[in-house]
């Protein structure tokens, strides 16, 4: 079987891989030295597009439009770019075995790839309802969304089931973004999730109340406090009904499940130190194994600002960690050092005409400010999180670029707060004054 050797291999061809490749080129990687191995069939792209513009009924986003690095305002890296730089894009290739001791990777087709330096950028996989044995969860037209192939299947389903009924299982990022885009496609949408309000990982009850009200006004029906316990299918094996734990039964032509992700670390189990479900790294994304780095969703790294090891499943960190790792790798080979990664968490989402940003940490007391009425023509509201008398996190819906910069600064600077009542009254003005 074929055997190939590269000085540098990036395992995974997603967001981190693309931003890492750009940094490799900046650092002067030579033709033939770097390979990206990906089980996907396309060059690295901005994954967030898949749950948003890719599924729009009008002028949907399509490749090559959203290859990296357009998501952060950079140059779009088309497949030709990799060819020009002599970077091997080894696509449709799943690695099924990794041996960090002998520095080899083996693909499903049996090819061997040898490397000197490895960057693990395998991202996450979806948690499936079949993983916990939900009855009937293998029926046709039950979809998950992680990669472009999944998005293509959804596009086909939307076409095939015009004006049909969709049940969205999960009230997190996928749940909120997919229910909105399904509604835009004129489908009848029900959302089901177990918690008392949507996106409980981040949203307070006050924040969630706005989005739940707004979605209800768009005609999306929300069922909270229960889960899907089974599915019935028709004679073709296509899903027809979703059975809920509270006894209700929902009709469905399409089901989209978004019940969380899991970092893809299985290839490296027992070979590298892990922490908090991810691969443990230092502030330069070096793992416990020499010459092996981990970036993006899979890395558990020192979050300097909070003096804690954390893992982050968001695109901004995927981009920045990848760039930082490559800079560190080149610096270390030249006997130089660079600054430690000092990351301020940044998450965002968009749906309908809404767009929110969050910076910092969502711990401590909270203060809601602004107009969060779901029926308001121009809603603009936010929330601060306050811990030990300091603002440590800030959320803003419908902020201008300057306002978003201001809340980012607040979360970074962590100013002291005199009184929560005053903060609530000052609202966004507080951030804009920092």
Point out which residues bind ligand FDA (CB under 6 A): 12-17, 37-40, 47-48, 50-51, 94-95, 121-124, 145-147, 264, 267, 296-297, 313-316, 318, 347-349
* 313 is a site residue for ligand NAD (CB under 6 A): yes
Q: Give min distance, CB of 156 to ligand FDA, in A.
A: 17
**93 within 8 A of 86, measured Cβ to Cβ:** no
Report the site for ligand NAD in 314-333 (rule: CB under 6 A): 314
The site that binds ligand NAD (CB under 6 A) totals a number of residues, namely: 26
Residue nearest to ligand FDA (CB): 14
Q: Which stretch binds ligand NAD (CB under 6 A): 7-15, 95-103, 188-196, 329-337?
A: 188-196
Q: Give min distance, CB of 37 to ligand NAD, in A.
A: 22
The dihedral built from the CA positions of residue 260, 266, 269 and 272, taken in this order, carries a sign that is negative
Distance from C-alpha of 413 to C-alpha of 409, rounded to nearest angstrom? 6
Q: Give min distance, CB of 331 to ligand NAD, in A.
A: 30
Q: How distant, in Å, are the alpha carbons of 19, 32, 85, 317, 353 from that of 24?
A: 9, 12, 10, 18, 37
Report the site for ligand NAD in 134-153 (rule: CB under 6 A): none
* 175 is a site residue for ligand NAD (CB under 6 A): yes
Distance from C-alpha of 176 to C-alpha of 357, rounded to nearest angstrom? 15
Q: Give min distance, CB of 226 to ligand NAD, in A.
A: 8
In terms of CB distance, is 212 or 316 closer to ligand FDA? 316
For the record, the structure tokens of 5 come out as 């050797």
Rg of the chain over Cα atoms, rounded to whole angstroms, equals 23
Distance from C-alpha of 212 to C-alpha of 42, rounded to nearest angstrom? 36
* DSSP-derived secondary structure letter, 72: G
Q: In a 3-state reduction of DSSP, which class is residue 171?
A: coil
Q: Give min distance, CB of 243 to ligand NAD, in A.
A: 12
Distance from C-alpha of 199 to C-alpha of 298, rounded to nearest angstrom? 22
* 260 is a site residue for ligand NAD (CB under 6 A): yes
Q: Which stretch binds ligand NAD (CB under 6 A): 35-43, 168-176, 288-296, 299-307?
A: 168-176
- Residue 171 interacts, among ligand NAD, ligand FDA, none and using kind-specific CB cut-offs from 5 to 8 Å, with ligand NAD
Among 195, 238, 371, 403, binds ligand NAD (CB under 6 A): 195
Q: What angle do CA 101, 106, 108 make, to 5 degrees?
A: 150
Among 143, 285, 343, 347, binds ligand NAD (CB under 6 A): 347
Instruction: Tell me the DSSP string of 81-146.
Output: HHHHHT-EEE-S--EEEEETTTTEEEETT--EEEEEEEEE---EEE--GGGGT-BTTTSBTEE--S
Among 19, 113, 143, 173, binds ligand NAD (CB under 6 A): 173
Residues that bind ligand NAD (CB under 6 A): 51, 124, 169-175, 177, 192-195, 200-201, 227-228, 258-261, 313-314, 347, 349
């Amino acid at each position: 079987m074929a055997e190939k050797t590269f000085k540098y291999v990036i395992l995974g061809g997603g967001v981190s891989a693309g931003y890492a490749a750009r940094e490799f080129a900046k650092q002067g990687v030579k033709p033939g030295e770097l390979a990206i191995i990906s089980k996907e069939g396309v060059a690295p792209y901005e994954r967030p597009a898949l749950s948003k513009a890719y599924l729009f009924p009008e002028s949907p986003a399509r490749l090559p439009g959203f290859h990296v690095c357009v998501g952060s305002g950079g140059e779009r890296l088309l497949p030709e770019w990799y060819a020009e730089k002599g970077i091997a894009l080894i696509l449709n290739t799943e690695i099924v075995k990794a041996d960090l001791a002998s520095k080899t990777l083996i693909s499903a087709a049996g090819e061997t790839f040898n490397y000197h330096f490895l960057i693990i950028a395998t991202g996450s996989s979806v948690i499936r309802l079949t993983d916990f044995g939900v009855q009937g969860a293998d029926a046709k037209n039950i979809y998950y969304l992680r990669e472009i192939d999944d998005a293509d299947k959804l596009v086909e389903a939307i076409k095939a089931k015009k004006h049909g009924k969709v049940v969205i299982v999960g009230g997190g990022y996928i749940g909120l973004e997919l229910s909105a885009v399904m509604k835009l496609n004129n489908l009848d949408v029900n959302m089901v999730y177990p918690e008392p309000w949507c996106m409980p990982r981040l949203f307070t009850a006050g924040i969630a109340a706005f989005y739940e009200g707004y979605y209800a006004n768009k005609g999306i029906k929300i069922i909270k406090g229960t889960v899907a316990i089974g599915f019935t299918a028709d004679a073709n094996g296509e899903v027809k009904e979703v059975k809920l734990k509270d006894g209700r039964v929902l009709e469905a032509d399409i089901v989209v499940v978004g019940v969380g992700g899991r970092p893809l670390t299985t290839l490296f189990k027992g070979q590298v130190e892990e922490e908090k479900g991810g691969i443990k790294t230092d502030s330069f994304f070096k793992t416990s194994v020499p010459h092996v780095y981990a970036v993006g969703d899979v890395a558990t790294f020192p979050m300097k600002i909070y003096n804690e090891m954390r893992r982050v499943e968001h695109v901004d960190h995927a981009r920045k960690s990848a760039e930082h790792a490559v800079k560190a790798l080149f610096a270390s080979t030249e006997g130089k050092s660079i600054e430690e990664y000092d990351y301020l968490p940044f998450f965002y989402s968009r749906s309908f005409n809404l767009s929110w940003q969050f910076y910092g940490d969502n711990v401590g007391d909270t203060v809601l400010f602004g107009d969060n009425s779901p029926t308001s023509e121009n809603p603009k509201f936010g929330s601060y999180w306050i811990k030990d008398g300091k603002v440590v996190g800030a959320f803003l819906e419908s902020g201008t670029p300057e306002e978003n910069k201001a809340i980012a600064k607040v979360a970074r600077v962590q100013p002291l707060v005199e009184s929560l009542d005053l903060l609530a009254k000052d609202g966004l003005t507080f951030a804009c004054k920092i």
